[in-house]
Amino acid sequence: MYQDRLHEPQVPVIPFYVSASTGIGGKLVLKKAHDLAYFKASDGRAWLYGGVISICTQYSVTGSLSDSRRQCLASEEVPLVRDMRSQLRYCTYRSDDDCQTYASREVLYSLEYYVPVMYRASESDSFTRARVAFSKILQIPECGDCARRLGF
């Protein structure tokens, strides 16, 4: 989004969870909003698309099981697709290492974000939210053939 060593945009990050067709491997992938596109399915629902990722479908365990050192033996390409609507659930009360009470809320991801761009005086400084140089509008583009290509 912005290529400069003295400026850094604070781009929103959107989570995707994908799993292999075998059900063995799974990944939580965080994608920056400028790396996404959106599309509408035939039923009218809007979806976010973050590209394709390789995910492991078969593992070999080396060492003891407690070490959990796994080597990937086979993998598959999985598309990063998520609904624009999401229900978030948080644990609000925990007892005996088990969640007893949850709070939930519904989130609708936006197609437009105001992104603050922070600056620093020199490369040895750090970026802080207190030093915002300007803001940019980030619009997530539409993917014209994603619905057809992904079978939506």
- pTM across the whole model: 0.78
**pLDDT of 14:** 92
pLDDT (0 to 100) of residue 139: 96
Which range among 15-29, 57-71, 91-105 shows the weakest confidence by mean pLDDT?
57-71
**Percent of the chain scoring above 90 in pLDDT:** 45
| 3 compared with 98, residue with greater pLDDT | 98
Q: How much is the pLDDT for 15?
A: 92
- Which two tokens mark 129? 């939210």
Single out the residue of 70, 67, 69 nearest to residue 57, CA to CA: 70
pLDDT of 47 over the 90 cut: yes
